[in-house]
Amino acid sequence: MNRPIRLAFSPDSDDIFMFWPLLEGKVDTEGLSFTAERADTETLNRRAEGSDEASAERPDVVAVSIAQYARVARDHLLLPHGMSVGRGYGPVLVATGATAPPLASFAGKRVGVPGLRTTAYLVLRLLLPDFEPVVVPIAPYARAFEELRAGAIDAALLIHEGRLFYEREGTAKVVDIGEAWARETNGLPLPLGGNAIRRDLGPELVARVSRVCRASIRWAADHAPEVSRALLAAETRADVGLDQASLDRYLAMYANADTLDAPADVRRAIDVLFERGRGAGLLPADARADFAP
- Residues acting as catalytic residues: 160
- Kindly report the number of other CB atoms within 10 A of residue 244's CB atom: 12
Radius of gyration of the chain (CA): 18
Cα gap 281→154, rounded to integer Å: 25
Q: Which residues lie across from 124 on neighbouring strands?
A: none
Cα gap 267→248, rounded to integer Å: 26
